[in-house]
Amino acid sequence: QSDTKDYSLPNASWSPDMVGLYNELLEKTTAGSWRRLPSYLYSGQFLKKEDLAGIAKAAPAAEDTRLFLRVAEKEGHGFEYAIFHNPLEKKCICLFQPGPHLEGLPGIIHGGALGTMIDSTFFITAYRSADAIFTGTMTIVFKSPVILGSVVRLEARVTGTEGRKVFLSCEAQNSDRTVLFAEASG
Amino acid sequence: QSDTKDYSLPNASWSPDMVGLYNELLEKTTAGSWRRLPSYLYSGQFLKKEDLAGIAKAAPAAEDTRLFLRVAEKEGHGFEYAIFHNPLEKKCICLFQPGPHLEGLPGIIHGGALGTMIDSTFFITAYRSADAIFTGTMTIVFKSPVILGSVVRLEARVTGTEGRKVFLSCEAQNSDRTVLFAEASG
């Protein structure tokens, strides 16, 4: 598992809308408070070494694994996304372009695929901002359907902590933030 | 989109545990109250024609789409599952064997992949038992991690209706029902 390619960089499948939002956020990273997070083919490549050791003991290594977000073989078919983190604000913004293999009802994203992107954004936000690594409870309220190929802008933030528990909220909107696709808490 | 192969039949990737549970449920179908539901590569192949027409109007046809549950190219790598429905009891049992491309943390299923199987089981239960087709709210409580390759037994039921709303609950357990992986409501 030595593929160290960063899969969260723009590629030919990204729509102009997706690239535009990506460039806007990238510009914010030069100011210092935001960071672009790379993403890989294998789970755990982003984990700190001490975490990884603990988890590897708990679960036997499986062969030929792949991070679920990278399940689609071809560029553009599955989860195209990039996550930006603001540690001071304990917040992440995820740009997500669902490909045609994430279909639920005809032409529309599967609720589970949107849930997967929300869950991943929650995880990264909690891991980067509060050192938490497991999702306990997640509630998603689906508001309006996401058309495949369109851009989803997810914004997740830490809303509180209670011992080892971290509370989070997330909004999924369209690119100009005029349509709310879903709200989630965890 | 003329692939009419039923993907919910046992294949070489299914573990003896998965096949055993499948055969138990198949036996129940001969008694008449349970039905095995086929599943396909394309979304909408299972929809009644009148539903499909309405949905197709709402969302433009995308090219090269695929039902999210069939996102993994190779047998055994993604969602291996079979769903059985009991219309009298308004209940579904889904047998689910997550493959190595559904990884979250090392060796463990991604919460979003388990959520996707729960969402799909909810959808099928609501569609078959109460003619509903959209998920409104879904809450998942993750109790213990699912090791990739193991068997998950999901049992979903309609718990009530209120106008066009359908309420559902689901438990995800291991094959002998001694470990609770997750509980969900929707």
A111 contacts on B by Cβ (under 8 Å): 116, 119, 123, 135, 138
- Rounded to 5 degrees, φ, ψ at A86 are -120, 100
DSSP element (H, E) containing B118: helix B111-130
**How far is it, in rounded angstroms, from Cα A160 to Cα A164?**
11
Catalytic residue of the set B17, B119, B131, B176: B119
Q: What is the pLDDT of residue A58?
A: 66
Structure confidence at residue B23 as a pLDDT band (50, 70, 90): very high
Give residue-wise pLDDT tens across range A43-72: 878 777 667 667 666 666 667 899 999 999
List of chain B residues whose C-beta atoms are within 8 Å of the C-beta of residue A137: 139-142
Residue B185 CA to residue B170 CA, distance in Å, equals 6
pLDDT at A62: 65
**Mean of pLDDT values over B94-122:** 96
Question: Average of pLDDT values for B109-127?
Answer: 96
User: Looking at the predicted structure, is the pLDDT value of residue B72 above 80?
Assistant: yes
Please count the other Cβ atoms lying within 10 Å of the Cβ belonging to residue B67: 24
Q: Nearest CB to A103: which of B47, B67, B72? A: B67
How high is the mean pLDDT of chain B?
91
Higher pLDDT, B122 or B53: B122
Confirm if A81 and A99 have CB atoms less than 8 A apart: no
The closest alpha carbon to B89, from B125, B118, B122, B120, belongs to B125
pLDDT tier at B138, thresholds 50, 70, 90:
very high
pLDDT reported for residue A143? 95
pLDDT at B60 over 80: no
Rounded CA-CA distance A90/A100 in Å is: 32
How far apart, in whole angstroms, are the C-alpha atoms of residue A64 and residue B80?
16
The set of catalytic residues of A is 119
Q: What is the ipTM of this complex?
A: 0.93
Q: Residue A150: closest CA among chain B residues belongs to which residue?
A: B62
CATH classification of A16-185, choosing from 3.10.129.10, 3.40.470.10, 3.40.50.9100, 3.40.1190.20? 3.10.129.10
- pLDDT at residue B43 in the model: 81
A108-121: pLDDT as tens digits: 999 999 999 999 99
Q: How far apart are CA B119 and CA B83, in angstroms?
A: 13
**Of the given ranges (A30-34, A53-57, B15-19, B89-93), which has the lowest mean pLDDT?**
A53-57
Which pLDDT tens digit goes with each residue over A154-175?
Answer: 999 999 988 888 999 999 999 9
